Amino acid sequence: MNRVRNALTLIELMVAISITGIMMSLLVVGINSARGASQKLACSNNLAQLSLAVQLYHGSHGHYPTRTPPSYPFQDLLPYLEEAIDRETSPDTYLCPSDDYALSAQGHVSYLFNEGFAGQVFGSNGMMPGVYEKRLIRNRDITDGLAATAGLSEKLQSLVSLTNAEARRRPLRSNWFVGPGYSAQTMTAVDNYLHACLRSRSLAVPLTTWGDTVALKQSFGYNHMLGPNQAPCHHGGPTAAPFPPSQGPHTSIIPPSSLHSGGVNLAMLDGSVRFVTDAVSWEIWHAWGTRSGGEHGAL
């Protein structure tokens, strides 16, 4: 007499559960991957809008935004994004959706302007004038070409209160002192400074702005001294609050950073946006950072 089996065996049940678990894991990975891709695209679109706003500003004023007070670049760009200039909260265009620490209510900005490479040797040779520079930068000063010169990139929001141990777990959200002795205007000093930032970071000093309570009034940018997703550093020591005047942001190492897997979005001055991997060659990264370095052969 044949018996009809109406139930699963234990082995069949375990196989079914395992398959379901694998499918659920794949689904979660797929959802996270899709979310990450969507956030990276939104961030890229924000940078494209900001790059266009920079050119609209240039068309109206005849030069790029400057940070000489009372000018504040990100506030000055607001009208060209059809936003009210007197606001102290950030529009969505200023925030990368992947960075959950970047808050509109705090006036945070997820993007910074390109200051170039090694300001203590070459001055601010990107698209943003230096802290104490009175000069105005125009399209005609970008002799390397708008398509070959970076305008803006991403920067993860710094955290205000971190212990040194916590900062070591999240180095991209902190700023680091590396000791004095790197201010000499020589490439040897710059090379030593870069090595110290990579190998000898000591004291974390997290800051969200350089001495202003309104983050929209950020007075500094990022630079091309180190490649993407490296920790930022300042030379000197915490002998004054928040830093000695001679060790201000113009002598800082401030690489771009993001939570996108493997790199950062970079907006060129012609309005194009590209995703730059963390493994970008130093020659290309350096060339994109300077407006008049004549490094066309590196691109």
What CA–CA distance (Å, rounded) separates 60 from 54? 10
Write down the pTM of the prediction.
0.82
**pLDDT tens digits for range 15-56:** 777 787 777 766 655 655 667 688 999 999 999 999 999 999
- Beta strand 150-154 with 233-234 is unpaired
* Residue count of the chain: 299
User: What proportion of the chain, given as a percentage, has pLDDT over 70?
Assistant: 80
Write the CB contacts of 82 (distance below 8 Å, at least 6 apart in sequence).
Answer: none
Q: Is the pLDDT of residue 252 over 90?
A: no
Residue 112: closest CA among 145, 61, 77, 143: 77
Token pair of 4, please? 């009809």
Do 144 and 288 touch, CB atoms closer than 8 A? no
pLDDT at 268: 97
Do 133 and 219 touch, CB atoms closer than 8 A? no
Do 260 and 98 touch, CB atoms closer than 8 A? yes
pLDDT at 214: 58
Q: Which residue ranges make up each domain of the chain? A: 10-298
Question: Higher confidence at residue 36 or residue 1?
Answer: 36
What CA–CA distance (Å, rounded) separates 156 from 259? 8
What CA–CA distance (Å, rounded) separates 119 from 295? 18
Mean pLDDT within 104-122: 88
Residue 220: closest CA among 155, 285, 281: 155
- For the chain, the average pLDDT equals 83
**pLDDT tens digits for range 141-156:** 999 999 999 999 999 9
pLDDT at 155: 94
Unique residue bearing structure tokens 């777990």 = 169
Do 112 and 153 touch, CB atoms closer than 8 A? yes
Mean pLDDT within 229-253: 64
